[in-house]
Structure 1
Amino acid sequence: MPKHLIASGFAYQQDHASMFSTKRAYLILLLEGLASSGVQMVTIRQTVAFVGGSVLCTSIIISCFLGALALGYFFGGKTAPEKFSRALLFNLVGAIALFGIGLSYPFVSMFFLSIADISYGLPILGNPLVHLLAFCLLVMSPLVFLLGQTVPLLLNTADQETRKSEAAGSATAISTVGNVVGCLLTSLVLMYFLGVGYSILVNCMILSFCVLLVLRPEKTVLKPMLLSITSLSLAVAFVANVRMPNQLFAATTPYSDIRVEAKDGGKRLVINRSSASFIDAETRQGWPYIEMMKSAIFADDVAGKDILVLGAGGFTLSAEDTKGANFTYLDIDPMLKSVAEGDFLGEPIKGDFIAQDARAFLLTNEKRWDVIVVDLYTNAAAIPMHTATFEFFSLVSERLTGNGKAVLNIAANPRLTDRYSQTMDNTVRQAFSRCVTDITSYDDSLQNLVYLCGKRSSGVDRVARAYFDDTTRVTVDGYLSALHGSAR
C-alpha cells in the first residue's frame, strides 16, 4: 500500500480517536454493558409465560446470548477504523428498535402463539424449547450481536501510545462492570419497582443516550435521520411496552404478568397466561380442583389449626370460609396480594401472606403445620424444578405435624401414559407414607391431579403389603376398616 494512503488512514483514525475522549468511550462501554445484560434478563422474564422458567430455558437463552456476543466481538474487530463511528451509530439505533419492539410483550406473544399454531402436531418442531430457540436466534441474538460490536469498535478510540492489550483489557473490564450493574439494576430495581415494560423503555433510553454520546463529536449529514429514527423507536417502545401492557394487565412484576377478567358469573385470575384462580361472584367458590382441595382440608375439624398454602394463586382456599383455621399464604411474587385484594377478591385476604420462595421458606422455618397445600406453577404446566423433586416433597412431609396432611395439585396425565406423569406420581408417593389421588377428568391430557398425602414416618412402610389368596387378611382388615368408618 502506498505510504501516503497509510499516512492518511492513520491520520483519519487519529482524528476520530481525538473526537472521543477516554471518559466518553468508557461511559459508552459501561452503558452498553448495562443494556446488554438487561437484554438477557428481559428475555428470560418475557418468555416465562410461554415456555416456563426451567433451567433448560435459561440455558438456551444464555447460550444464544454468549454466542451472539462472541460473533459481535469477532465481526466488530474486523471493521475498518475509518468506519467505526458510523458502524457504532447504526448498531446502537438498530439495537434500540430491536430491544423496544422485539422484546415487547405484544411482539413476544404474537411470535410464540404464531409459531405454536404453525408447528402444532409436528414432532420436535412443536416443542416449546424449539420455539424459544427460534426466538433467541431471530430476535435476541441479532440485538446482542449489534451491542457486542461496541467493545472492538471503541478500541479504535484508544490513544496510539496505549498498548493494544491494555486497551482491550480496559474496554472489556468496563463493559463487564456494566453487565454486572445491568443484571442487578434490571432485575432488582427496574422490574421490581417499575415493571417489565418500563425496564425495557429505560434500557432503550440508555442506548439512546449512547447514540447522543457518539453523535456529539460527529459531523455527518446522517445526524438528523439517526436522531429521528431513535426518537421514533423510543415512542414505539413506550406504546408497546407501557401503554399496551397497562391495558392488558393489572400488574407486570419480575415474576408474572397478572390480569383479572370476567368469566361465567365470576372472575378469573390469569398469571403468565395460566388460569390460576376463579371465584364465583355469589358462592365465592373456585375451580373444581380447588373445591376438591377444600373438601380435603376441611374434612376434619380445623378450628385453631395452622394451614400453609405454597402458591397463593387467588387466595380462594379461604375466600368462602376459614372454619376457624389459621391460613398462611406464601408466594414468590409480592405484588400478588394487592392485585388479588383490589381486582380479584374485592376484599382483604383471609390469612397472612409471605413473599418468599417456597423451598427456601421450608428450609429456614422449622414450624410444623397441620396442613400444607402445594400449588406451585410458573405457567400453565411448568412446576418450578426445585419444587417438584423427591427432596422438596420430603421437606414438605417433614414440616407436617404427626397427623398432618399434604394436599398437592399436580398437572399430569391421569392415565399415567407418559414418562413425566409416571415419574411425578412415583416421586410423590415415595416422599409420603400414603397418598390418595382425586382427579377432575380422565382425559388423555394434562389435568389437575389432587394428591392427599400423610406424613412419612420411619415406623410405617412406604408401600403397604399385598393381600394373597392363602390368608383371610383382606376380609378381616376390610371389616375393621368398615367398623372404624361407621363409628365416625
Structure 2
Amino acid sequence: MISKQRVALILLLEGLASSGVQMVTIRQTVAFVGSSVLCTSIIISCFLAALALGYYQGGKTAPEKFTRALLVNLIVAIGLFGIGLSYPFVSWYFLTVADMTAGIPGLRNPLIHLLSFCVVIMGPLVFLLGQTVPLLLNTADQNTRKSEAAGSATALSTIGNVVGCLLTSLVLMYFLGVGYSIVINCAILAICAVLVISPERSPLNSALLGVAAISLAITFVANVRIPGQLFAATTPYSDIHIAQDTEGKRLIINRSSASYIGRENREGWPYIEMMKQAIFSDDVTGKHILVLGAGGFTLSAEMTGGARFTYLDIDPKLKSVVEEDFLEETIQGDFVAQDARAYLLTNKRLWDVIVVDLYTNAATIPMHTATFEFFSLVSERLLPDGKAILNIAANPRLTDQYSLTMDNTVRRAFSRCVTDITGYRDGLENLVYLCGKPSSKDPVAGLYRDDTTRVTVDGYLSALNGTTRQD
C-alpha cells in the first residue's frame, strides 16, 4: 500500500503535469492553427471531456488492480506527453492531416485538424492522468468518509493544477523554452511512477521503469536536440528560425515568413517597402514612429531619415535573436516587450506614425488587435496630422465575409484611408492601409454627377496644389 505522504505528493505532481499538458498544447499548435479564443476553447473542452472520462474509468477499476493501473497509466502518459506533444511530431501530424484533407470542404478547416489532434493525442493523455485521483482513493483509510477522501484528493490535484499553470507558462517556458518544459513535466510523471512502486519491485515494475527511462531519453532528443537544430530560439510565444536565401535572409516565426532582408540592398518584403515609402515620403526628421509588431525590425534597417523608431512586440527574446542572427547588427530604434493593446491603453503618448503589423502565424491576427475598438485606440494615439499604416492579410477582392468586414472596420476607425496591395489574386494578400486621424475638419465626401462641373473644378484645384500623381 502506498503511504499517505506518497499519495499526497503524487496527487500534487500529477495535477502539476496535467496543467502542463494544456499549456504545452496551446503553445505547440499556435504555428499551425494560430492563437484565438476558438483554438483555446477547443483545447480546453477536449481537456475537460477527457478528464471527466478519466475520472469515470478510474472509479470503475478494481481496488486490487489500482497500483498496476496507475503505474501503466503514468508510463504511457510519459510517452504521449514527450513524443506526442513534441514539435517534430506535432508538425508531422498537422502537415499530414492538411495534405490528407486538402480539397475536402469542411475537413480542410484548421480547427478540425486541431480537434482531431486533441482527440488523438491530448485526449488519451489527459484520460490517463485523470484516472489518478479515483485510483488513489483506494489508499484512503477505511475510517475516513468517502466524501472527505474524495474532497482531499481533488483539492490536492487542483492545487497541483494551479501551480502547474503558473510554473509551465511563466517559469519553464519563459526561462528554459518549450522543449525543456516538456522534458521537466515528463520527469515529474516519472517521479510519480517511482513513488507508486513499492520497495519490493517486481520484474514487470522494473521493466516499466526501464520503458519510462527510454521514453525520457526520446523526449529529450525530440524536444531539445531536434528543435535546437531547427530553431534559433523557442519562446513562450514563438518558434523562431532564420532561413538563408540566395539573395538574403528570412525571419520565420511560427512557420510564417515574418520578415526578409536583402544582403546587399537591405530591402524587405514588397509590403514593407510600401510602408517605408509611406513613412519616408515626408520629412521625418525628429518624428516619432511606433511599430506594433516588430518582425525583423526592417523598417529602420535601411535608413531612419532622422526618425526615432520604437518597436513593440510581445516576445522579449525577439530583439536579441534578430540582432545576432538576422540583422547581425544593433536595431535602429528602441524596443518594448509588451502587448500592443495594453501598451496603447497605458501609454498616452501621441505619435507621428503608428505601424500595425501584428500576427500570431501566417494569417491570424490576435483577436484583441483586429477590432474597431483597437483601431480606434490606434487613431487616438496619433498626432492631429499623424498617419496609421496597417498590414492586413485579406482577400483584395473583398469576396469573403472576413475581408469585407475587416476593410469596413478599418475605414470606420480612421479617415481618408487608401489601400495598396501586393497582388490581386482571389486569396490572402498583404493589404497596406494608409490612414489619417479623423478630424472635424475633414472634408465631407459627396458625389460627382453629370449635371455639375465640380469634378473638373476640383480636379484643377487639386492639380494646382500639387497633389495629383506625377508621371
Q: What TM-score do the two structures reach when normalised by structure 2?
A: 0.98
Partner of 2:378: 396
Q: What is the SS of the residue equivalent to 1:367? A: coil
Preserved contact between residue 390 and residue 433 of structure 2 (Cα < 8 Å) = yes
**Equivalent residue for 2:192, pick from 193, 197, 210:** 210
**Matched position secondary structure for 1:241:** helix
The CA distance in 2 between the partners of 1:421 and 1:218, in whole Å, is: 66
The offset of 1:221, in angstroms, is 2.7
Match of 1:411 among 375, 386, 393: 393
8 Å Cα contact 1:439/1:448 also seen in 2: yes
Deviation at 1:444, TM superposition (A): 1.0
Deviations 1:372-419 (A, max 9, x none): 000000000000000000000000000000000000000001111111
Q: CA-atom RMSD, angstroms?
A: 1.2
Q: Given residue 451 of structure 2, which amino acid in structure 1 is its aligned partner?
A: D
Structure 1 CA distance for aligned equivalents of residues 193 and 441 of structure 2: 70
Q: Which residue is 1:469 aligned to? A: 450
CA distance in 2, matches of 1:486, 1:358: 34
Distance 1:429 1:218, change over 3 A: farther
Please, which of 135, 138, 151 is the counterpart of residue 156 of structure 1?
A: 138
2:256 counterpart of 1:274: yes
Residue type at the aligned position of 2:111: L
Deviation at 1:471, TM superposition (A): 2.3
Task: Note the C-alpha offset of 1:265.
Answer: 1.2
Q: 1:283 and 1:99 mapped to 2: Cα distance? A: 46
Match of 1:338 among 295, 299, 320: 320
Q: In the alignment, which of 151, 169, 174 is matched to residue 187 of structure 1?
A: 169
Question: How far apart are 1:476 and its partner, in Å?
Answer: 1.5
What is residue 35 of structure 1 aligned with on the other side?
Answer: 17
Whether contact under 8 Å (1:406, 1:454) holds in the other structure is: yes
Do residues 291 (structure 1) and 273 (structure 2) align?
A: yes
1:484 paired residue among 455, 462, 465: 465
Counterpart check, 1:321 vs 2:336: no
Name the structure 2 match of 1:8: none
- Whether contact under 8 Å (1:205, 1:234) holds in the other structure is yes
Instruction: Tell me the distance in 2 between the aligned counterparts of 1:216 and 1:428.
Output: 65
Q: Distance in 2 between matches of 1:486 and 1:231?
A: 72
SS state of the match for residue 434, structure 1?
strand
Percent same amino acid at aligned positions?
76
Q: Which amino acid aligns with 2:454?
A: R
Does the C-alpha gap of structure 1 residues 445 and 459 become closer, same or farther in structure 2, counting only changes over 3 Å?
same
Q: For the residues of structure 2 that align with 1:252 and 1:473, how far apart are their CA atoms? A: 59
Distance 2:263 2:31 in 1: 27
Residue identity in the other structure for 2:28: Q
Q: CA deviation at 1:159?
A: 0.7
Aligned positions, number:
469
Give ranges in structure 2 of 5+ residues lacking alignment: none
Q: Which amino acid aligns with 1:64?
A: C
Which secondary structure does the structure 1 equivalent of 2:65 belong to? helix
Unpaired runs of 5+ residues, structure 1, are: 1-18
Shift of 1:217: 3.8
- How far apart are the structure 2 equivalents of 1:237 and 1:411? 37
Determine the structure 2 residue equivalent to 1:304: 286
Aligned-pair CA distance for 1:223:
1.7
3-state SS in 1 of match to 2:390: strand
In the aligned structure 2, how far is the partner of 1:96 from the partner of 1:484?
A: 71
The AA in structure 1 aligned to 2:164 is: G
Q: Distance in 2 between matches of 1:472 and 1:82?
A: 96
The question of whether the paired residues in 1 share the 8 Å contact of 2:2 and 2:198 is answered with no
* Runs of 4+ residues over 6 Å off in structure 1: none
Partner residue, 2:129? 147
Deviations 1:145-179 (A, max 9, x none): 00000000000011111100000000000000000
Spell out the pairing of 1:130-279 with structure 2 (5 A cutoff). Answer: 130-217=112-199, 219-279=201-261
> 1:320: how far off?
0.4
- Partners in 2 of 1:264 and 1:425 — Cα distance? 36
Would the alpha carbon gap of residues 253 and 486 (structure 1) be closer, same or farther in structure 2, given more than 3 Å must change? closer
Looking at structure 1, the residues matched to 69 and 380 of structure 2 have their Cα atoms a distance apart, in angstroms, of: 60
What residue identity is the alignment partner of 1:153?
A: L
CA offsets 1:15-61 (integer angstroms, 9 cap, x no match):
xxxx2121110100000000000000000000000000010000000
Instruction: Report SS of the residue matched to 1:222.
Output: helix
Residues in 2 aligned to 1:168 and 1:92: alpha-carbon distance in whole angstroms: 20
Contact 1:73 1:151 survives alignment (8 Å): yes
Candidates 51, 63, 73, aligned match of 2:33: 51
1:472 is matched by which residue type in structure 2? Answer: T
How big is the shift at 1:351?
0.2
Aligned pair 1:120/2:102, yes or no?
yes
Give the drift of 1:216.
3.6
Shift of 1:434: 1.3
Match of 1:98 in 2: 80
Counterpart in the other structure of 1:430:
412
Q: 2:170 & 2:420 partners in 1: Cα distance?
A: 40
- 1:443-483 deviations in whole A, cap 9, x for unaligned? 1110000000000224437x722222232222121111111
Partner of 2:61: 79
| Secondary structure class of the residue paired with 1:126 | coil
Quote the offset at 1:324 in angstroms. Answer: 0.4
Asked if the contact 1:20–1:217 (Cα under 8 Å) also holds between the matched residues in 2, the reply is no
| TM-score, normalised by the number of residues in structure 1 | 0.95
